[in-house]
Amino acid sequence: MIGYLLDTHALLWWWTNAPRLGSGARATIEKSDRPIHVSAAVVWEIAIKSALGKLPMIADFQGQYPQLMRDNGFNRLDVTDTHALRAAYLPGTHRDPFDRLIAAQALAEDLVVITRDPEIAGFGCTVLW
């Protein structure tokens, strides 16, 4: 394992200091000596929800995003063709494209996913909450 990959809800709850963020997840984000990554897929999912007005806790996500990333020292993880292919061919019936891509990136890049979603673990990923 070379680092961590934040799932969408984990990232949102971190940025908004929500009590719903698991204590293990919070401690890892606060104190990890390994890199913490944010997938372009997660940014896309948050941006879609923000544009639809579903995220009042981050009213101007497009404007706030660069500063949030800088302030937290998170690394951007681009989506590659390797990630896309792996996501498409993951086994199982879980169809959420964002979850499939996050799982594929974690598997391809040897990352632990910080998530409360048990279905991501079902793809073979190591998860932490």
Domains in the chain, please, with CATH?
3-128 (3.40.50.1010)
3-state SS of the chain: helix, strand, coil percent to 5? 55, 15, 35
Q: pLDDT tens digits for 1-59? A: 899 999 999 999 999 999 999 999 999 999 999 999 999 999 999 999 999 999 998 88
Which residues partner with 36 through β-bridges? Answer: 4
Taking a C-beta distance cutoff of 8 angstroms, is the pair 112, 1 a contact?
yes
Q: Report the C-alpha gap between 53 and 19 in whole angstroms.
A: 22
Could you identify the residue written with the tokens 């974690």? 106
Give me the amino acid identity at 92: G
pLDDT tens-place string over residues 58-86: 889 999 999 999 999 999 999 999 999 99
Give the Cα separation of 14 and 57 in Å (integer). 12
- Give the separation between CA 96 and CA 9, rounded to whole angstroms: 14
